[in-house]
Structures are given as structure tokens and as C-alpha cells.
Amino acid sequence: MLKSGDHVVVTDNTYGGTFRLFDKVLSKFDLAFTYVDTSQPSLIEQAMRPETKMVFIETRPIPCCA
């Protein structure tokens, strides 16, 4: 799905394990990640690049921690 040089826009409210996967593992494969408040569509649009291949959004896993 993704290849070296691709870019992903990610919700800035992502689960810690997901963040570590992107930051510590997948970034070593020359993938770039930009974290934005995905509740504001204009911020998603501003983060898009020609090399953006994915927008990654997660819901909160624990509703009590909102």
C-alpha cells in the first residue's frame, strides 16, 4: 500500500502504540508522517502533499479519557 517516499496524514490523537509504530519503525522505511487535528478538515487539506497516499484516523479506544 505504501512505499518509500510516501506521506501519511495522521490524526494527532492517535494511540501511543500506533504513534511508536509510525515514528520508530515505519519512518525507517522513508515514510513521512504529519500529525494534525483531524476534527478540522481544513487542517487535513493543508497537510496534504503530492506524495500523500493515506489519511490515517483512529477513534479513541477508551471513551472515559476524552
* Residue 32 reports pLDDT greater than 90: yes
Tell me, what's the pLDDT at 28?
96
Residue 66 has pLDDT above 60, yes or no: no
User: CB–CB of 9/56 below 8 Å?
Assistant: yes
Position 64 scores a pLDDT of 59
Q: Provide mean pLDDT across the span 46-56.
A: 98
C-alpha cell at 23: 515514528
The secondary structure of the chain in percent helix, strand, coil, rounded to multiples of 5, reads 35, 25, 40
CA distances from residue 58 to 4, 10, 11, 15, 29 in whole angstroms, order as listed: 23, 9, 7, 8, 22
Q: What is the mean pLDDT of residues 18-33?
A: 96
Q: What is the pTM of this model?
A: 0.87
Can you tell me which residue has the cell 484516523?
57
